Structure 1
Amino acid sequence: MKKKGGPVRLYSMPSSGNSYKVRLLLALLGRDCALIDVEYGSPALEAAHRDGRLPLGKAPVLELPDGRLLPESNAILCWLGEGTRFWPGDAVVRADMLAWMFWEQNQHEGVIAVRAALAWYPHRAVDATPERMAALLEAGHRLLGRMEAHLAGRDWLVGDAVSLADICLYAYTHTAGSRGGFDMARFPAVTAWLDRVAALPGAVGLDA
């Protein structure tokens, strides 16, 4: 297998949890990376679109050492994490990790992140109707409840050690209360898990 060393560049939206999860893993791995900030409405984002740096039309995108562009946050996590301590050696545990990562994009992000975005970004405020926000709040509490039940009595989402699943789910869950308005006091096991991820050596916050 070709080594994954060498300089990489990350087209990253600073306020986005999807971009943050990649920055977090890079920090945990102690890997250098050139960051290109492509925040909403910025000239840099317009330039990245114009120059074809966002193949699927959104950030994050990792530019590999050979110049290829890798989109989608969880695909980037897998590329960076394979062969590290965040990649389980057991095939079943690894599949379980991927299942949680698929669930994050298919279920969790579309509720937890969307409610936060409607509340956080001025250009999304028009869609933040009381009915929609209430529906997202109810759905989000159900999803967080699923995580709560799973994490009760265990430290990490899969196996006996931290994995990419934890990095993946941490990104939007850790701001679910502050940005999304979810009642995190209802989920002590989730809150304890968030604290464990934040305490990992090398971890950085969303605004780092």
Structure 2
Amino acid sequence: MRLYSMPSSGNSYKVRLLLALTGRDCEIVDVEDASEALIAAKTAGALPFGKAPVLHLDDGRVLPESNAILCWLGEQTAFWPADPFDRATMMSWMFWEQNQHEGVIAVRGALNFYPSRASLATPERMEDLLIRGHALLSVMERRLQEADWLAGDAATLADIALYAYTHTAGSRGGFEMDRFAAVNAWLARIAALPGYVGLDD
């Protein structure tokens, strides 16, 4: 398999993390933001939606979108719940991650992190994202005050999906993570999983 991966992106990182946690071999092709490699990958048609991550399978099939890739790689692993309700709950958190969490937590981090986006980081926008982000982190906090994991009684793909941008919410996004003790404990549990690799590993 070959993974086209943007090294600094949480969406790409979540796939690399699952690969590491499950011991799967995969060639990694770095296509960093604004790099020649990214332009070349787009020109070659390697990125169907124009962005990473994209997984190219050995048989020639191509799968874009981070959470779709997680589902394909994660099925029949320990991160795929056997119980149908737990599995549906996992999916609900993964949908929420993409349509709520990422558009706030990841966006504020990106506006801080990438120089090319600094002009978009107006004080009004950053304040709005900060308020909305703290509300989203509170949703996770409430769940994680009641349970160690987001879905069921063990780590699932939902935890991997939401870890990717949550673990840099403070360092990149400037969110006040000391307000979220249960989230921080959850972050530590994921970092302690066998095979774990960090964003920059």
User: TM-score normalised to the size of structure 2?
Assistant: 0.99
- The corresponding residue for 2:18 is 25
Q: Which runs of 4+ in 1 moved over 3 A?
A: none
Kindly report which structure 2 residues correspond to 1:1-208, keeping only aligned pairs within 5 A, or say none: 8-208=1-201
Separation in 1 of the partners of 2:40 and 2:119?
A: 27
Instruction: Report the RMSD for the aligned CA atoms in angstroms.
Output: 0.5
CA shift at 1:153, angstroms? 2.8
**Structure 1 residue matching 2:63: 3-state secondary structure:** strand
Structure 2 unaligned residues grouped into runs of 5+: none
Separation in 2 of the partners of 1:114 and 1:153?
A: 28
**Structure 1 residue matching 2:150: 3-state secondary structure:** coil
CA shift at 1:68, angstroms? 1.1
Separation in 2 of the partners of 1:41 and 1:139?
A: 28
1:124-167 CA deviation, whole Å, 9 max, x = no partner? 00100000000000000000001001110311001111100000
User: TM-score normalised to the size of structure 1?
Assistant: 0.96
Structure 1 unaligned residues grouped into runs of 5+: 1-7
Separation in 2 of the partners of 1:97 and 1:36?
A: 28
1:94-152 CA deviation, whole Å, 9 max, x = no partner? 00000000000000000000000000000000100000000000000000001001110
CA shift at 1:41, angstroms? 1.5
Q: Percent identity?
A: 72
Separation in 2 of the partners of 1:155 and 1:69?
A: 34
**Structure 1 residue matching 2:102: 3-state secondary structure:** helix
Aligned length: 201
Separation in 1 of the partners of 2:46 and 2:61?
A: 10
